[in-house]
Amino acid sequence: MCGFLLAVGDLFRSDFGAALETLKSRGPDAREVLAHGDALLGHARLAVIDIAGGRQPMTTDHGRLAMIYNGEIYNFAALRRELETAGHAFATNSDSEVLLTGYSYWGEAVLEKLDGIFAFAIHDARDGSVFLARDRLGVKPLFWGEHANGLVAASTLAPFFVLSSFPKKLDPQGLRDYLAFQTPLAPRTLVRDIHVLPPGACLRWKVGAHATARQWWTIPDATESAPDQAALVEETDRLLARAVKDQLVADVPLGAFLSGGIDSSLVVHYMAQAGARPLKTFSVRFAEAGFDESPAARAVAELYGTEHHVLDAPQLTAETLVAALADLDQPLADPAYIPTWALSRLTRQHVTVALSGDGGDELFGGYPRFLDTADRHPDGAAKRLLRVLLRHGLAPVSLTRRALAGPDLLLYRRVELGDYPGSRKDLSRYLAPEVATACRSQATLELWRELAERHGGYDRGALLRADLWTYLSENCLTKTDRASMAHGLEVRVPLLANALLDRVLRLPAGVHFDAGGGKALLRALARRYLPEAVWNREKHGFSVPLRANFAGPWRDWCEAQVVAARIRAPWLDAGAIAALGNEARRGQGNVRLFYTFAVLLAWLETHPLEI
């Protein structure tokens, strides 16, 4: 895992080194810069495979191509053998060289052969073009932007703020997504003209040519019907065991996040089965019973004899909060980021690589919201009449929710703020009029809507797939990437391996649900292998008790964000933010919404944006 920066154009040369420095935590082992034609390529390396030989930027023998890359290619040994058979020789034992050689030989078709997590940029000195690509589900990040006939591409948004010649203006559409969903959604960021390359996408850029991303991988629809459930459990068992074993390849110590839930506990089981020794595990212990899963985590650790390390959540002080938020390249208002950041700091003291259970809920149907399909909320004459009355101002706007049906109601329940004039979820209650108007120029969460409609129209399978390129990629995986790479820790996600995606996404959604709820396949394996404390209990989310923290250790921090609102974000309604903050400091009101604004305001302190 690493961080990289590419810049084409003279405007970016003077502060390129300082911009690369923002990525130092992602690559603490080495930082190198290469001038290649009209481009500068910089790389901050976290050495995991072929520590001596895998240095970057890396060039082909003929010097035409230069690459910077972040990720791990788990099948690189098999690809290397295939390339050697075709006559290619290798100077290192790194997956980086396999990727670059594969691109030189197969071109863009190399993407179809890669099993791993990756983002990379390749510069062609002959024609000045740049090729960017990102893995299927966006485990590894990639940002890009054009300015003055030049291009910048980077692992995070942070380098763009150091490049003085790159404009920093607020993107209202990115802000709209953030306020609705606690994170901007690809391809948008909070900064106009800086984009996220979408998951499963690639892009070719050249001076004077229009750059358009294309999907090299798309989320498949279900193609099977009524498979044998028992046989499917056995197949899932084999696929999980293989995925975890494949992802144990490293030349450095590795361990696992162990929350005590089914997903991470199964990962630990398969690591032990594959012979991972010593097996080190890491978890968080909360004082509040409704948040604490540490007893289940301890039971798994004892079953497999792991070297178990526990972080006490009371250590999540205001100082920890401030330090964690300072490592965000753009706002992410998922409170789980804070304990994940602290857990990553603990984990990095012992290992360089950790496996996690990320993706289990999204891929295997683990969230209760997947049961809340559009057909459970039919439209009717009363709802239609109420919508007419609301439209003409003849009914109180507090009844907005009761007027909605089907997909519209699902969306309303899902978002924090949106285009719901006058209601409690009306984003214009918190924004200056001109910014609110700009935010409304496109529909709230149009990407999530588009994905759901593309995959069947708000049934279970469609809702599951819509989450993959929204909640999973831009929230969960972003959270884990930023929290872990802030400490130079690589996190791998075996539940999202190619073979599992290819198999599970072609199954009908019904295989994931039974009388016990969702995630039926993984629950069956959990009952087979794991202590009852893991699978025979209500589902816990990994988060923090916001109300207790706002009324306690984070109280002064809350006040500081409220006071700063008028200066940092004059386009927010400071009075409305203050009212939210006052309630939060009493442990009341919509604390999640206040946290969303507070994170934004804290970020704006060091990342000021123009309107």
pLDDT, tens only, 221-279? 999 887 899 999 999 999 999 999 999 988 888 999 999 899 999 999 999 999 988 89
Residue 510 predicted with pLDDT over 90: yes
Between CA 227 and CA 224 the distance in angstroms is: 7
Count each helix (H run) and each strand (E run) in the chain, helices first: 25, 17
For residues 369 and 376, the answer to whether their CB atoms sit within 8 Å is no
The top-scoring range by mean pLDDT among 394-398, 448-452, 500-504 is 500-504
CA 211 to chain centre: 24
Average pLDDT over every residue of 417-437: 91
Between CA 492 and CA 500 the distance in angstroms is: 14
- Type of residue found at 268: V
Q: Is 53 left (phi over 0), alpha (psi -120 to 50) or beta?
A: alpha
Q: 157: Cβ–Cβ under 8 A, 6 or more apart, which residues?
A: 143, 189, 191, 194, 329, 330
The reported pLDDT for the residue numbered 497 is 97
CA atoms within 13 A on the CB side of 75: 17
- 372-420: pLDDT as tens digits: 999 999 999 999 999 999 988 999 998 999 999 999 999 999 999 998 8
Give percent above pLDDT 70 in the chain.
98
Domain ranges in the chain with CATH number 3.40.50.620: 229-368+461-535
Q: Is 384 left (phi over 0), alpha (psi -120 to 50) or beta?
A: alpha
* Alpha helices (H) in 330-420, listed in sequence order: 337-348, 360-364, 381-391, 400-403, 406-414
Between CA 528 and CA 544 the distance in angstroms is: 31
Please state the CATH superfamily assignment of the domain spanning residues 2-215 in this structure.
Aminohydrolase, N-terminal nucleophile (Ntn) domain (3.60.20.10)
Between CA 271 and CA 244 the distance in angstroms is: 6
- 116-160: pLDDT as tens digits: 999 999 999 999 999 999 999 999 999 999 999 999 999 999 999
CATH number attached to the domain at 229-368+461-535? 3.40.50.620
In terms of Cβ atoms closer than 10 Å to its own Cβ (0-12, 13-18, 19+), residue 127 is: exposed
Between CA 227 and CA 15 the distance in angstroms is: 57
- Token pair of 189 as six digits: 């960021």
Domain ranges in the chain with CATH number 3.60.20.10: 2-215
Give the SS3 label for residue 435.
helix
- 534-572: pLDDT as tens digits: 988 776 556 678 888 898 899 999 999 999 999 999 999
Helix or strand run (H / E) with residue 352: none
For residues 332 and 475, the answer to whether their CB atoms sit within 8 Å is yes
Q: 218: Cβ–Cβ under 8 A, 6 or more apart, which residues?
A: 200
* Alpha helices (H) in 163-278, listed in sequence order: 172-181, 229-246, 262-273
CA 58 to chain centre: 27
Q: 441: Cβ–Cβ under 8 A, 6 or more apart, which residues?
A: 172, 173
Between CA 45 and CA 27 the distance in angstroms is: 4
* Alpha helices (H) in 8-47, listed in sequence order: 16-21
Q: What is the value of pTM for the model shown? A: 0.95
For residues 573 and 542, the answer to whether their CB atoms sit within 8 Å is no
Identify the CA nearest to 339 among candidates 493, 587, 549, 592. 549
CA 76 to chain centre: 24
- 31-83: pLDDT as tens digits: 999 999 999 999 999 888 777 778 899 999 889 999 999 999 999 999 999 99
In which residue are the tokens 């009101």 written?
589
- In the DSSP assignment, the letter for residue 471 is I
Nearest 5 degrees, angle CA 527-CA 528-CA 530? 65
Average pLDDT over every residue of 488-498: 97
Q: Which residues of 188-200 are buried (b: 16+ CB within 10 A; e: fewer)?
A: bbbbbebbbbbbb
For residues 130 and 193, the answer to whether their CB atoms sit within 8 Å is no
Strand 30-36 versus strand 201-205 pairing type: unpaired
